[in-house]
Amino acid sequence: MAMERRDDLRFNEHAISGWVCVCGEKYYDPGKAQEILLRHKLQKEVLRVTLGRIKSNLILRVPKDVETVLHLKKGEKVIIKVERKGFTVIPS
């Protein structure tokens, strides 16, 4: 059977690449599909993390799953927005 490569397939409300068979069956990019599923799982959870300290700097430790979903890298800069009852960390 012939397969057509597509970059506009819908998977859990996200555009994703994959292949469509002439019979109509869809095959999603497995890595991207896994990332979308992990993101949805994390959005439903409340994450408790541990703060650490290196000399005079307070360190916020981020779980590996969050690192993966947000594509964070060591040394990358993030934005911290102080809010009324806490703060938000935003990848830049």
At 27 the pLDDT is: 93
pLDDT one-digit tens code per residue, 2-35: 889 999 999 988 899 999 998 889 999 999 999 9
Which CATH number applies to 46-92: 3.40.50.460, 2.10.260.10, 2.40.110.10, 1.20.1530.20? 2.10.260.10
pLDDT (0 to 100) of residue 12: 86
pLDDT at 1 over 70: no
3-state secondary structure of 33: helix
Report the pLDDT value the prediction gives residue 7, as an integer from 0 to 100: 92
- CB atoms < 10 A from the CB of 36, how many? 18
Q: Is the pTM of this model over 0.75?
A: no
| Extents of the domains making up the chain | 1-45, 46-92
Distances (CA, A) of 18 to 22, 39, 61, 90: 13, 19, 34, 29
- Residues of the chain with pLDDT > 90, as a percent, come to 67
pLDDT of 43-78, one tens digit each? 999 888 889 999 999 999 999 999 998 889 999 999
- CB-based contact 52:79 (threshold 8 Å): no
